[in-house]
Chains A and B, each alone.
Chain A
Amino acid sequence: MAIQVFAIAMALFAISRAYLRLREKKLKPFEFIFWTLLWLVVVFIAFAPDVTFFFSKLVGIERGIDIIIYTSIIALFYLMFRLYVKLETVEQNLTKIVRELALREKKR
Chain B
Amino acid sequence: MNKLMIVVPAYNEAVKIGAVIESLKKEGFQNIIVVDDGSTDKTAETARSKGVVVLSHFVNCGYGAAITTGIKHAVVQGADAIATFDADGQHVSSDLHKLFEIVAKGEADIALGSRFLKQSKSNVPLLRKMALKAGRMIVWAFYGVKLSDAHSGLRAMSREAAEKIDVKSAHMDFSSEIVDQIKKQKLRWKELPVTVRYTQYSIKNSKQGPLPALKIFSQMIWRKLVR
Query: B72 to A99, Cβ gap below 8 A?
Result: yes
**A91 CB, nearest partner CB in chain B, Å:** 7
Count class of interface residues, chain B: 20 to 34
Residue from B57, B72, B73, B170 within 8 A of A91 (CB atoms): B170
Closest to B77 in A: A106
User: CA separation between A102 and B222, bound complex, in Å?
Assistant: 28
Which residues of B are found within 8 Å of A92, using beta-carbon distances?
168, 170
Those of B43-93 within 8 Å (CB) of chain A: 53, 55-59, 61-62, 65, 68-69, 72-73, 76
Does A76 sit within 8 A of B, measured CB to CB? Answer: no
Which residues of B are found within 8 Å of A101, using beta-carbon distances?
58
Query: A106 to B73, Cβ gap below 8 A?
Result: yes
Does A72 sit within 8 A of B, measured CB to CB? Answer: no
The verdict on A95 contacting B55 (CB below 8 Å), with A85-B226, A103-B72 known, is no
Q: Which of A88, A95, A101, A105 has the most CB of B within 10 A?
A: A95
The dominant DSSP class at the A interface is helix
**A61 CB, nearest partner CB in chain B, Å:** 29
User: CA separation between A94 and B56, bound complex, in Å?
Assistant: 14
User: CA separation between A88 and B222, bound complex, in Å?
Assistant: 10
Closest to B55 in A: A102
Closest to B36 in A: A102
| Chain A 73-92 near chain B by CB (<8 Å), digits 1 or 0 | 00000000000110010011
Does A98 sit within 8 A of B, measured CB to CB? Answer: yes
Q: Which of A85, A105, A106 has the most CB of B within 10 A?
A: A106
Q: Which of A91, A94, A102, A105 has the most CB of B within 10 A?
A: A102
Query: B58 to A103, Cβ gap below 8 A?
Result: no
Query: A98 to B58, Cβ gap below 8 A?
Result: yes
User: CA separation between A102 and B226, bound complex, in Å?
Assistant: 28
Does B99 sit within 8 A of A, measured CB to CB? Answer: no
Query: A99 to B226, Cβ gap below 8 A?
Result: no
Does B35 sit within 8 A of A, measured CB to CB? Answer: yes
Interface pairs A-B: 10 shortest CB-CB: A102-B55, A99-B69, A95-B65, A95-B61, A98-B57, A95-B170, A98-B61, A102-B57, A102-B56, A102-B69
Closest to A103 in B: B73
Closest to B227 in A: A88
Which residues of A are found within 8 Å of B68, using beta-carbon distances?
99
